[in-house]
């Protein structure tokens, strides 16, 4: 997968060309993205758009919030 190749990159110039920011900024953005994702899920639950907050079960295509953020930026 593309994210696995991205994790192996070492030069900031290449990383910046792919996602528009350096790795340090990307890594600092992941917790904020994760918090926002959980807030949106809770809001959807409160508005009865979904019946329960997803916690377990089958893994999706993106197994981590870092992968989801990478996909959005890519």
**The pair of three-digit structure tokens given for residue 37, joined into one six-digit string:** 């994702």
Tokens of 64: 């981590």
Distance CA 64, CA 46 (A): 24
Mean pLDDT on 44-65: 83
Residue 52 confidence (pLDDT): 82
CB 5 within 8 A of CB 70: no
| Closest residue by Cα to residue 13 from 4, 23, 27, 2 | 23
Query: What is the percentage of the chain residues whose pLDDT exceeds 70?
Result: 99
pLDDT of residue 1: 67
């Amino acid at each position: 997968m593309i994210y696995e190749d991205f994790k192996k990159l070492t030069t900031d110039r290449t990383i910046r060309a792919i996602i528009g920011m350096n790795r340090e900024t990307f890594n600092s953005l992941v917790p904020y993205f994760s918090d926002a994702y959980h807030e949106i899920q809770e809001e959807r639950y409160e508005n009865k758009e979904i019946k329960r907050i997803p916690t377990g079960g089958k893994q999706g295509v993106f197994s981590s919030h870092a992968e989801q953020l990478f996909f959005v930026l890519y």
